[in-house]
Structure 1
């Protein structure tokens, strides 16, 4: 049994790029499973975060971060990543003549931290995983403060948007993810985890596939009922994800190495938007946005190839 599980993890890890994308199509084709797993979404978000944290040397991270310059750089980058990007989208999206729901979805995208598996994707793509680790952790820890405050400031009339309950829900999911990751690392050991890279690639891919399944609850009927809206949302998420990734990567490449620029682009385009899906009242358009957003996000390792091949 142990050998069979190991073989599955290795096989999955070696094909993580394709497994991630296949997971989106699997979720779309299994609506009954999406409905059954929807209550598990907050726990699955924490699990994916935990699997990523388990692979990271947090002790080295804390040792490296404690300098005024480093802290200022990370906080400054987080401000650009979240509030500044949110303001830019808030001002520009309405100029395109899109429905109000698109602006709300774009703001929730901008105010979400990078996906918890950003460092893992950087490993796959040959980008800078340390930069991804640092910015993802800082942005994730600041999300319960930045996200609700900016949302209330920019969208005060959104139903069900209450600052402190939203802060509590976001904080709980993030704290649970950190606890899972630290527990796994303590139980297995950092050196052993580092030696099981392919296996953990496979485990992370499986975790991300499980996480994406409940995001597709009710999406199929919504697409059939409003196909033109669904097409518009699909184009919108492609532009947000790939456009953010490419633009930030190109700009950052002026002053940074390809590895750092690639990591920044990846984090700008790939966000844990599902945090807000799990924390806010149900919104059909935003639910459709989050589900379709998974396709470009999970296709990122295929579209943005390794540094050595670019």
Structure 2
């Protein structure tokens, strides 16, 4: 318990340590890639366990707002991005593919945890993780129709359905366990749960950085170009959403989700000839994501 509480107090620094380890310990990063799906499910479990089923349950009056947020993030934004690149004649470039897929993806599984570290309420973030992933088989169709070179979305549909099942199973088990064993946690117990989440995220990012370390060593100019694109896309969308949602109680979680998406999902759904050119972007994209609680907390305050 004391170790987990200390991890919660220094959660933002733990994420930075994970980023550094992912860049430096390249062999370990490669070895951990296979464990990423398990760690994603673990993050969902911890987030759901922290919140509990009563707090996470979406009332009927909130369903239209939740659906509207999913459509705005996963349909409207990527469609605009795809149309802009089409108008510029850049639709088949790696940058266009990377940014379109990023904005079409649902929220990262760790968005409730990022929200907690940034000082916001995690419940809206968890709801959008589940809803956005569940609706992904439908929301990707207009994006795939507009994005050149991605092929048919049939494989992605099956992958997203499998991911939805994993998320729902992890959340359901966590809700049951919380209701049975810890129905009313005290403040110290909640802090310990946050510490467990921070530790898992710090470990997981090592595997997500598997493509970034070699590029930094051998192609620094290319690395920093993609890193700049990742920071601009992530923080730019967060700032834009934060400005549009100013005054709303769910501004922090929605803004964090606007910039932090589960683009890694597409690695298991699309052929290597499409994903290989954007692997470095996916690795660089973890940096603004994991630095969000440290660099953006002032903004959400």
TM normalised by structure 1 equals 0.85
Q: 2:162 aligns with which of 168, 172, 175?
A: 172
**1:131 is aligned to 2:85:** no
Determine the structure 2 residue equivalent to 1:228. 221
Deviates more, 1:203-212 or 1:183-192: 183-192
After superposition, residues 47-62 of structure 1 pair within 5 angstroms as 47-62=42-57
Shift of 1:233: 0.9
Determine the structure 2 residue equivalent to 1:198. 191
Provide the C-alpha distance between the structure 2 equivalents of 1:134 and 1:181, rounded to a whole number of angstroms: 11
Deviates more, 1:39-48 or 1:201-210: 39-48
Deviates more, 1:237-246 or 1:46-55: 46-55
Could you say if the C-alpha distance between residues 199 and 60 of structure 1 is closer, same or farther in structure 2, counting changes exceeding 3 Å?
closer
Provide the C-alpha distance between the structure 2 equivalents of 1:16 and 1:281, rounded to a whole number of angstroms: 36
Provide the C-alpha distance between the structure 1 equivalents of 2:257 and 2:297, rounded to a whole number of angstroms: 15
Q: Is the 1:101–1:285 Cα contact (8 Å) retained in structure 2? A: yes
Shift of 1:26: 0.6
Q: 1:10 aligns with which of 5, 12, 31?
A: 5
Determine the structure 1 residue equivalent to 2:19. 24
Provide the C-alpha distance between the structure 2 equivalents of 1:163 and 1:199, rounded to a whole number of angstroms: 41
Shift of 1:235: 0.7
Determine the structure 1 residue equivalent to 2:97. 104
Could you say if the C-alpha distance between residues 173 and 136 of structure 1 is closer, same or farther in structure 2, counting changes exceeding 3 Å?
closer
Q: Is the 1:21–1:299 Cα contact (8 Å) retained in structure 2? A: yes
Q: Is the 1:42–1:278 Cα contact (8 Å) retained in structure 2? A: no
Q: Deviations over 1:256-299 (max 9, x none)?
A: 33x42222211101112222224333323321111111111111
Could you say if the C-alpha distance between residues 75 and 276 of structure 1 is closer, same or farther in structure 2, counting changes exceeding 3 Å?
same
Determine the structure 2 residue equivalent to 1:66. 60
Q: Is the 2:118–2:294 Cα contact (8 Å) retained in structure 1? A: no
TM normalised by structure 2 equals 0.87
Could you say if the C-alpha distance between residues 195 and 9 of structure 1 is closer, same or farther in structure 2, counting changes exceeding 3 Å?
closer
Provide the C-alpha distance between the structure 2 equivalents of 1:39 and 1:124, rounded to a whole number of angstroms: 27
Runs of 4+ in 1 over 6 A off after TM superposition: 96-99
Determine the structure 2 residue equivalent to 1:280. 270
Q: Deviations over 1:222-255 (max 9, x none)?
A: 34443332222111110111111011101211xx
Number of aligned residue pairs:
295
Could you say if the C-alpha distance between residues 230 and 251 of structure 1 is closer, same or farther in structure 2, counting changes exceeding 3 Å?
same
Q: Is the 1:105–1:289 Cα contact (8 Å) retained in structure 2? A: yes
After superposition, residues 137-148 of structure 1 pair within 5 angstroms as 137-147=130-140
Determine the structure 2 residue equivalent to 1:3. none
Q: Is the 2:53–2:175 Cα contact (8 Å) retained in structure 1? A: no
Q: Which residues of structure 1 form unaligned runs of 5+? A: 1-5
Q: Which residues of structure 2 form unaligned runs of 5+? A: none
Could you say if the C-alpha distance between residues 168 and 272 of structure 1 is closer, same or farther in structure 2, counting changes exceeding 3 Å?
same
Determine the structure 2 residue equivalent to 1:121. 114
Determine the structure 1 residue equivalent to 2:39. 44
